[in-house]
Amino acid sequence: MADFFEVVRSQRACRAFAPEPLSDELVELLLEAATHAPSAENRQPWVFVVVRDERRRALIAELARRAWDGGGRAQASGRLTSGLLADVEGGIGGGFATAPVVVVVCGDTGLGDGRVLPASVFPAVQNLLLAATASGLGSALTTLPLAFSDELSQALGLPDALRPMAVVPLGRPARPLRSPRRQPVSAKAHRERYGAGW
Amino acid sequence: MADFFEVVRSQRACRAFAPEPLSDELVELLLEAATHAPSAENRQPWVFVVVRDERRRALIAELARRAWDGGGRAQASGRLTSGLLADVEGGIGGGFATAPVVVVVCGDTGLGDGRVLPASVFPAVQNLLLAATASGLGSALTTLPLAFSDELSQALGLPDALRPMAVVPLGRPARPLRSPRRQPVSAKAHRERYGAGW
C-alpha cells in the first residue's frame, strides 16, 4: 500500500533506468490507473502503445536526441540550472534508451477535437506517472520525440486519427531519485482575484 | 492515510456539493499536491485562483450555464447516456454553484507558450482532483466556463499573460459518488504497434 500524498510529493522525472524488464501485470496496473483519469464526456480518448522492442525504443530515443540537438538544448540551456541541464543531457544521451518500456500516449481525434484533447489526455498521463511512482518505478513525461510526430506515428503504425501526445519511459531507476523542487503554494495561489496573494 | 490505487480508482466527477466550507489548511494541502506535478523544464507555469465569494462563484456557474445552453447541451445530448446527461444538467443547473470553493487553474504564457502549456498544467489539475478524492472531497475538471474566457478573466483580475485552463469545484459531496465507469485496458492498449492489441 502506497500513501497517496507521499506518492504525489515524491514523483520526479527519472532519466536513467536499470535494465531489468517490467512484467505485463505491472504495466497493466499502471495503464489501468491511467484509464481512471477523467475525460470530457467520459469519452476516454486515450490510446497507449507499449513499446518494449529494443530497436523501436532506440528509434524513439533517437527522435528525442534529434529534437534536442535541433533546438531543444539551445532553448533550455538559458533556463535550466546546470545540474538539471546535465541530468537532461544524460537522459537524452542514453538514459532514455535504457528504459525497458516506453509508453506512447495518444489522443484519439475521433473522440475529441484538438481543442479538448489535452484536458482529456494529460490527466491520464499524470495517473500513469503517479502509478509508476507508487510502484517504485521511475518515469518521465517527455514530449521531445513529438517534434517528429510523423516518424513516430509511422514507427508505431498509428492511424491518422491518433495524435501522439506524450512519450513516457518506464523502469526501475538506475539511482535513487532526489526530491522534486517546487515553489511553495504561496507563490502560486491567490484568493478571489489575481494579485491578492495567498 | 489514503491508499494511492484506491484513490485513483474511486475518483469521479462530483456535481452536487454539501454547503459546509473547506478550511484554508485543506485547500492548501490540495494545492500543494497540485504543485508537485511535473512541468516542462520544471517551470511550474500554474497559477491558482481560489474563489469562495458567493457572487463570484455564482458568476462562474452562470458562465457554465450559458455555455451549456449555447451549444454544450446540444453537442453532449447525442453522446452521453441519459443518466450522465441528467447528472451534468443537474450540476450546471445548480450543483456547480453549491461548491463552497472553486479553483480556477491558469497557465502562465510567460512560462510556456500555448503549445506546451497543456502538458504542464493538466497534470497539476489531475493532482488537485486526486488530492481532493484522497481527502474525501468531491471535485470535477470542468472547462465549460472557458467558453467565456474574457469574462472569467475579468472577474478574476487575470493579467493578459494568464490563460484560464480549468475550473475545479471542490466540496464535500452532497451524496456518495458511484464508481467511475471505464473501458478496460485491453480496449485501449497495443503492443509495439497500433492494431496489435494487448
Q: What is the pLDDT of residues A62-85, one digit of tens each?
A: 999 999 999 999 988 888 888 889
CB contact under 8 A, A35 and B184: yes
Residue B43 and residue A76 in contact, taking contact as beta carbons nearer than 8 Å: no
CB contact under 8 A, A38 and B13: yes
| Residue B69, Cβ density class (10 Å: 0-12 exposed, 13-18 middle, ≥19 buried) | exposed
Which of B123, B105, B119 is CA-nearest to residue B47? B105
* Integer Cα distance of A114 and B105 in angstroms: 20
Provide the residue type at A118 as one letter: P
SS3 A88: helix
pLDDT at A114: 84
**Model pTM?**
0.97
pLDDT at A50: 98
CB contact under 8 A, B47 and A1: no
Cα dihedral sign for B16, B21, B25, B27?
A: positive
Tell me the per-residue pLDDT of A112-142, one tens digit each, with 9 for 90 and over.
988 889 999 999 999 999 999 999 999 999 9
| Alpha helical stretches, state H, chain A | 4-10, 24-35, 54-67, 73-77, 82-90, 117-134, 149-156
pLDDT at B53: 96
pLDDT at A21: 96
CB contact under 8 A, A122 and B126: yes
φ/ψ region of B41 (left if φ > 0, alpha if ψ in -120 to 50, else beta) reads left
**C-alpha distance from A96 to closest chain B C-alpha (Å):** 16
SS3 B103: strand
pLDDT at A96: 84
Disruptive mutation site among A1, A3, A4 for chain B (greatest number of B CBs within 10 Å): A4
Query: How many whole angstroms from its chain centre is CA B176?
Result: 18
Tell me the per-residue pLDDT of A17-48, one tens digit each, with 9 for 90 and over.
999 999 999 999 999 999 999 999 999 999 99
pLDDT at A183: 97
User: Which CATH fold topology does B4-187 show?
Assistant: NADH Oxidase (3.40.109)
A85 touches chain B (CB under 8 A): no
Positions of chain B with pLDDT under 70: none
* Integer Cα distance of B143 and A57 in angstroms: 36
SS3 A172: coil
Which residues in chain B belong to E strands, given as ranges?
46-51, 101-108, 138-139, 162-171, 189-191
pLDDT at A54: 95
Mean local confidence (pLDDT), A44-55: 97
Look-up of cell digits 497557465: B107
Neighbouring-strand partners of residue B189: A48
CB contact under 8 A, B47 and A130: no
C-alpha cell belonging to residue A90: 544524460
Report the residue from B44, B134, B141 with minimal CB separation from A183.
B44
pLDDT at A176: 94
B154 touches chain A (CB under 8 A): no
Question: Residues 47 to 76 of B: which have CB under 8 A from any A CB?
Answer: 47-53, 56, 76
- Residues of chain A found within 8 Å of residue B158, distances taken between Cβ atoms: 194
Q: Is the ipTM of this complex over 0.95?
A: yes
* Integer Cα distance of A23 and A64 in angstroms: 25
* Integer Cα distance of B122 and B166 in angstroms: 8
Look-up of cell digits 536526441: A65
Provide the residue type at A10 as one letter: S
Residue B162 and residue A23 in contact, taking contact as beta carbons nearer than 8 Å: no
Report the residue from A8, A80, A119 with minimal CB separation from B41.
A80
